[in-house]
Copies of this chain bind each other. A is one copy, B any other.
């Protein structure tokens, strides 16, 4: 018998909540998990079979860590690619592949990839200096994105007028036409090395404008089937063009004309898939493991309407986290709590999420609003 999942060591770069939920699922397969994270108190620390505190961007650290694993995956894109390339050369399986991470790490390269592969996306221009911005063909207002290292709303700003350019990021960026969108949606697609692909049903995202973070996520979407099918085709096209192994989260805008424009990619489990744990037959974490271990992909269909609420640290609270209102929300049927094991809260820090399922979309949204107003992470 060939080596099977329960014999293999899974190395995960990054030990945050995504790694934590991946390990929760990996337990079902006796997987041996190894985690590398720079934070001595990372959410995965006590759950990994082997936890190493160290830099995920340093060549030697990543390379030496990877040598101990059979399969290496990520829970964050900002990792040392050269080390992953070297590990691949030496026969380690790295999923998603290093070249996919490299492409996605750089939002400029991502946009060029969309253009080359006829993936619909907002018009853009790469800029290196404030000079480039002043000479841009784009009219104000437009969106400025740092090409690298942006996450959770960081590295994105709106430029309304010439004066704003002074505050612009001091790094390679891209300018993007401001999309007059109706909604942001996401589709997660899984692809295994055999080339099998399955998408999770499309979800709708509602943003917290102040934090620029997803606040609610509603599954499944109520957009017409025709639009959902188009979104699925786009997601699958990207996954097969990338030839990716693993999960790919595809965030898109639905414009007021009903067009779809791809916003960003994430080659890993993603915030827009947390509701799959209780809302779908198979969770994104289970599907990611199936994909990277070349197993048959699971049934992604929804069981229920689900709303996911990101549990963010309250403004003006810094310190040891307290979860006010937890007992109240647990009295509601269909409420599932996921705390991420972070000891300290700070404003807008992702401390956990709550999923509420209901047979009725409006019922789920109503409960989610109550939860949002009742459950607070304070210090």
List residues of chain A with CB under 8 Å of any chain B CB.
1, 4-6, 20, 24, 27-30, 46-49, 281, 290, 295-296, 298-299, 303, 321-324, 326-327, 330-331, 333-334, 336-341, 357
Contact = CB atoms under 8 A, between A and B. Distances in A.
B47 A331 contact: no
B327 A6 contact: no
A262 B324 CA distance: 42
Given A334-B299, A336-B28, A1 B49 contact: no
A323 B47 contact: no
A303 B20 CA distance: 26
Nearest to A5: B326
A339 B8 CA distance: 14
Contact of A27 (B24, B28, B324): B24
A209 B30 CA distance: 29
A323 B6 contact: yes
A280 to B, nearest CB: 11
A303 B357 CA distance: 12
B339 A28 contact: yes
Count this chain's copies in the assembly: 2
A333 B27 CA distance: 20
A49 B45 CA distance: 9
B333 A281 contact: yes
Nearest to A338: B28
A324 B29 contact: no
A124 to B, nearest CB: 40
| Pairs A-B, 9 closest by C-beta atoms | A296-B331, A30-B339, A299-B333, A46-B49, A30-B341, A28-B338, A295-B330, A296-B330, A24-B27
A47 B28 CA distance: 12
Contacts of A331: 296
Given A281-B334, A330-B295, A334-B299, A47 B29 contact: no
A298 B336 CA distance: 10
A337 B299 contact: no
Contacts of A49: 46
A103 B310 CA distance: 45
A198 to B, nearest CB: 11
A29 B337 contact: yes
9 contacts: A4-B323, A5-B326, A6-B323, A20-B27, A29-B339, A30-B339, A46-B48, A290-B330, A296-B331
Contacts of A1: 322, 324
Contacts of A4: 322-323, 326-327
Contacts of A333: 281, 298-299
